[in-house]
Amino acid sequence: MTDIDTKLQEFKFYKLDNWKQITENDVLQYEKKIGVDFPQDYTNYLLRYSGEVIDGSPIFPYLEAYSGGNKGILGVLFGVLPNEDDDYDLLESFETYTGRIPNDLLPIGEDPGGNIICLGVKDKRKAKVYFWDHEEEKPVLEGEKIDDSNLYLIANSFTEFILSLEHNPEYEDE
């Protein structure tokens, strides 16, 4: 059992309607389509939990100062899903945000307000997890570099991100 498995046992899950157990080949196909190698801890997460959603909107701390507060809310982590036009499909989300988020990041989840949780997949950001605030997004003109001033570091690895999740007191059972 990994640290991620141990931590996630603290939470309840529900399966998406189109949930199915995925294989390493499924993950490899997504890596090939996206053009990156996922960090191993994220691959392990996908193999075990893809298509399952953590119930109760857990919260996580920001490692960098963020005007929206000290903690964010996790709505959903995207997965490898059989119906690629699903809003929670990793590849669908990648295609939706290409050209809007820096190309060294992969959108892996979102908060309830539509902000994106991103995983670094290249260069200096590789394996780190960021919060992308869509309210602070600046339009990108052709030939311009994507502005990243709306990115906030959440964790230095995917495992660290999962281990930082806490129960959201607003959703606790009474």
The β-bridge relationship of strands 13-15 and 105-110 is: unpaired
The average pLDDT across 79-93 equals: 83
Q: Is the pTM of this model over 0.75?
A: yes
pLDDT tens for residues 146-173?
Answer: 999 999 999 999 999 999 999 999 886 5
From CA 114, how far away is CA 43, in angstroms rounded?
Answer: 24
The 3-state secondary structure of 40-75 reads: HHHHHHHHHHCCEEECCCCEEECCCCCCCCCEEECC
Q: What is the pLDDT of residue 1?
A: 83
Q: Which residue has the higher pLDDT, 118 or 18?
A: 118
CB contact set of 52 (below 8 Å; sequence gap of 6+): 13, 14, 15, 16, 19, 79
Spatial separation of the C-alpha atoms in residues 158 and 15, rounded to whole Å: 21
Closest C-alpha among 4, 46, 41, 5 to residue 25: 46
